Amino acid sequence: MARWQPDAPQRLAVAALELFEERGYENTTVIEIAERAGLTKSTFFRHFPDKREVLFGGGTMTELLVEGIAAAPSSATPLEAVAHALDAIGREAFTLDRRGFGARRQAVIAANPELREREALKGLRLTALMVESLERRGVPSLIARVSAELGALAWTIAYERWSDPANGEEFGELARRSLTEVKAAGSSC
């Protein structure tokens, strides 16, 4: 691939995933990722601070989450606002054509403690952003926190289901169903 071709972040993510699968995370360098993508090391660092981040999408999820909650109708309950954000994430990031990548990404993360830790930290950060976004909508702090935690759990369940190659459903549908299931489970405790 020529260096001038567009979508460098996606090319880097695909190259990294391939190399992590072939050689393992620990045995892959940033230079090798950039070369596989047909780019330079400086281009890699323009998009990602280190090789861990190449699998975590930069700030894409953050933007979609915050914007999705803010764009929810003013009449939406806190959980409905979270569902609105999960719908946006499904439309923009977890599309059906990315399902195979998602499943492969999860396998690489599951095989590496450093990546599992990064995934957990990202989840905590996204949950905190949901709380902040809900509070900006005027949701009381405790309700915002509970809604965000339920939303994060639903997101995790939906992503596991969506990543399964045998599942043909869209992420938004899975997220809404997971949110309903989590809410029902909470009320039966």
CA-to-CA distance for 94 and 22, rounded, in angstroms?
A: 24
Question: Do 63 and 129 lie in a common domain?
Answer: yes
Q: Indicate whether 2 belongs to any domain.
A: no
Question: Do 66 and 31 lie in a common domain?
Answer: no
Average pLDDT value over all residues in the chain: 91
Calculate ∠ Cα 82-85-89, nearest 5°: 135
For 1-140, where are the alpha helices, taking DSSP H only? 8-23, 30-37, 41-47, 60-71, 78-92, 99-110, 113-136
Q: Indicate whether 178 belongs to any domain.
A: yes
Question: Do 29 and 64 lie in a common domain?
Answer: no
Q: Indicate whether 3 belongs to any domain.
A: no
Bigger pLDDT: 65 vs 187: 65
Q: What is the pTM of this model?
A: 0.85
Domain range for residue 20? 8-54
* Polymer length of the chain: 189
Residues ≥6 apart with Cβ < 8 Å to 48: 9, 12, 54, 58
Q: pLDDT grade, residue 98 (50/70/90)? A: confident
Q: pLDDT grade, residue 1 (50/70/90)? A: very low
Question: Do 36 and 124 lie in a common domain?
Answer: no
Region of 24 please: left (phi>0), alpha (psi -120 to 50) or beta: left
